[in-house]
Structure 1
Amino acid sequence: MKAIEVIKKIAEDEAKKLHIVELGIVTSIFPHAGAGDKDNYECNVKLKNRDLELRKVPIATQHIGFTYVPNVGDLVLLAFVSGNINAPIVISRLYNDENRPPVNSAGEIVFESTDSKKAGARRLYMKFPGGIVLTITDDELKAEVGKSTVTIKTDGDITIESNAKLDIKSRGNTSISSDGDMSLTGENIRIQASGTIDIKGATVNIN
């Protein structure tokens, strides 16, 4: 065998030892679920085409400050630093025949959580440097801006709370109606109109 053929054979053997990318199935997840835990956004992955499970595999993120740990059973794509099987990274998740993408069209951005419905188990949380916080769970949507909070619950209840001034202004007609009781409470209340004020009711009590 010529020297060049020997070198070629050695190069081919070494190339076979390198691991570039592999498909895997997530078997366990380790999100950073609390300030006191030591988990750092990792998961265990069983390689799809061989009987090998990789432990505590780091999960790549598109932006520091953004997290979305995969679910157990998700199909993921792994890359290996310098081709070393002991240095894997989950770089992406893939749809398949069992886990299909949500219905979407070109130009759309769609988010549809596939997690099971458990109160408090699912959460979309966004916090901005200026202090604005948006939290969405299965039970409610809450927007916090400075000293004010707006909460909309899935049962229809809406709550607006503020430790600051609250103004409602309209350049057109404004109406507030309710099929139930309505109350207005304050330290001082002033009703003012540039035109006529009509007060009607089956019984009108003025104390």
Structure 2
Amino acid sequence: MTEIFDHLAGQEPGRADGRFHGVAIGIVTNNRDPDGLGRVKVALPWLADDAETDWARVAVPMAGAGRGFSFLPEVDDEVLVAFEHGNPEVPYVVGALWNGKDRPPVTNGDGRNDTRSITSRSGHVIRLVDTDRDERIEIVDRSAGNSIVISTKDNRITITATADVVISAGGKLRLSGNGVEIVSKADVNVEAKSALAVKSGGRLTIKGSQVNIN
């Protein structure tokens, strides 16, 4: 690594002391912090081809002991860098930047600014939609076939999966509502390791082409 201080010293008026006041554009070169502190190294190509910062801490909305936002920039991401009191040896990444090559996942083409989203590298999405009369929260995996949608308009929560949906509880699992419907395109199996009670306050109907009670 070429010392940033050496590049800055004497290059421009006001930088004779090797300090850089303000912010700078950088490109992430390494996000594998050997100390596990969530730091990154950043290249400063505008300064010199070989200019790279030391490990830089990343500013996040919240951070604390074992808690906070864990969103490390990826290698080759463009970021905004600031230096503590202008000291180039103490860099901070204060934000990430989209550009002409790396474009945002939401374009706001209609100018309404209705959608907030978090999109992971592989394409998993958490989306908050504020469209008038169509407000909803969506969690969608990269396949787009597995999702959870909370619709404010319909007061409905929809869970969709291309394969199995598994619900497991260490205690009781209770379904409660004005009505409960179970519809299957194949068999339905209900099994109890001990007693099984079926009770109705009204009529109980059991229908089938063949009914076996044993």
* TM norm structure 2: 0.67
Report what 1:59 is aligned to.
Answer: 58
Report what 1:80 is aligned to.
Answer: 83
Structure 1 position 50, deviation (Å): 2.1
Contact 2:119–2:125 (8 Å) recurs in 1: no
For residues 80 and 63 of structure 1, do their structure 2 counterparts lie closer, same or farther at Cα, with a shift above 3 Å needed?
same
Measured in 2, the distance between the counterparts of 1:75 and 1:189 equals: 61
Report what 1:112 is aligned to.
Answer: 119
Show CA shifts across 1:97-148 (max 9, x none): 01111224425322122x136xxxx899xxxxxxxxxx99758789xxxxxx
For residues 138 and 108 of structure 1, do their structure 2 counterparts lie closer, same or farther at Cα, with a shift above 3 Å needed?
closer
Report what 1:157 is aligned to.
Answer: 164
Equivalent residue runs for 1:29-48 within 5 Å: 29-30=31-32, 38-48=35-45
Report what 2:25 is aligned to.
Answer: 23
- Bigger strand share: 1
Structure 1 position 203, deviation (Å): 1.4
Structure 1 position 15, deviation (Å): 4.4
Residue 80 of structure 2 aligns to a residue whose secondary structure is strand
Structure 1 position 204, deviation (Å): 1.1
Residue 82 of structure 1 aligns to a residue whose secondary structure is helix
> CA RMSD, aligned part only?
3.0
Structure 1 position 14, deviation (Å): 4.3
- Bigger helix share: 1
Contact 2:82–2:92 (8 Å) recurs in 1: yes
2:46 to 44, 49, 59: 49
Contact 1:26–1:73 (8 Å) recurs in 2: yes
* TM norm structure 1: 0.69
Gaps of 5+ in 2: 1-11, 127-138, 149-158
Gaps of 5+ in 1: 1-11, 32-36, 125-134, 143-151
Residue 85 of structure 2 aligns to a residue whose secondary structure is helix
How many residue pairs match? The answer is 166
Residue 176 of structure 2 aligns to a residue whose secondary structure is coil
Measured in 2, the distance between the counterparts of 1:100 and 1:15 equals: 34
Structure having the higher Rg: 1
For residues 55 and 15 of structure 1, do their structure 2 counterparts lie closer, same or farther at Cα, with a shift above 3 Å needed?
closer
For residues 107 and 203 of structure 1, do their structure 2 counterparts lie closer, same or farther at Cα, with a shift above 3 Å needed?
closer
